[in-house]
Amino acid sequence: MSAQLISGVALSEQLRAEIAQRTAVLSAAGKQPGLAVILVGDDPASQVYVRNKVKACADVGFHSILEKYDAQLSEQALLERIASLNADPAIHGILVQMPLPKHIDSTRVIEAISTRKDVDGFSVLSAGELASGLPGFQPCTPYGCMKMIASTGIDLRGKHAVVIGRSNTVGKPMALMLLQANATVTICHSATADLAWHTRQADVVVAAVGRRNMLTADMVKPGAIVIDVGMNRDDAGKLCGDVDFAGVREVASHITPVPGGVGPMTITMLLMNTLEAAERLHP
């Protein structure tokens, strides 16, 4: 049996149509949502990401600004720019693209963003809100993964979810969101003794490692939901995830493809967070 595909493209299209509708309501009342995207340096992948984010804003009717700075920009200058965006009433979300050049302390930069505009959900306060089950901004990638799981119609209550990866941006918040949805959660990582033993028990596996083919068919319980957060290149230079897609799709009940899976959802949830930031400010 071949798994059902969870298309991030199709789900994004649905969600972005809803975002565009809610945006039109706000804009008609003179409260158009606005996102500021800041890029420091000329990392080619980051250039593509920020371009996609700004284009997505235009597509749903947001106001957006893209500010690109030379890699030599001082930390102080960046902090001052964030302070002025914090005070700008036309801006509801501020996103500083990571990674930043080494001379800039990224924690200090993230913490400088107003809590009400932290649409990446990367700040210590946002992380604490998520951990405490309080409303706040949720990091976009795991938030998108939750929407993809919800789209299967399968209730997570009592299910066993295994998250592979423990980053602050994906693995840890993913585990907390699954817990919040009443799953029993295991977090596996590079020091886990027998990864396959864990993944074989899982009703849901989220792979967020950054190594291709790290999840193979023999590691997956028949009928599991498999979410692939990986963004890797194969030998031919083609984009691929962490999951051996051809093998695992024969075992899983639902699987996300790469490309066209989690990737588009990340930007969609950034739009959702920005919309919600604007709605919270103008209830």
- Catalytic residue set: 53, 97, 120
- 164, β-bridge pairs: 188, 207
Contact flags string 139-178 toward ligand GUN, x per CB under 6 A: -x--------------------------------------
**Binding residues with ligand GUN: total (CB under 6 A):** 7
> Minimal CB distance to ligand GUN: which residue?
98
Least CB distance to ligand GUN at residue 224 (A): 26
Residue 38 binds to ligand GUN (criterion: CB under 6 A): no
Nearer to ligand GUN, 96 or 215 (CB): 96
Burial of 259 (0-12, 13-18, 19+ CB in 10 A): middle
> 56-115: which residues touch ligand GUN (CB under 6 A)?
95-98
Least CB distance to ligand GUN at residue 49 (A): 6
Least CB distance to ligand GUN at residue 46 (A): 7
Nearer to ligand GUN, 54 or 140 (CB): 140
Residue 138 binds to ligand GUN (criterion: CB under 6 A): no
Footprint on this chain of ligand GUN (rule: CB under 6 A): 95-98, 120, 140, 266
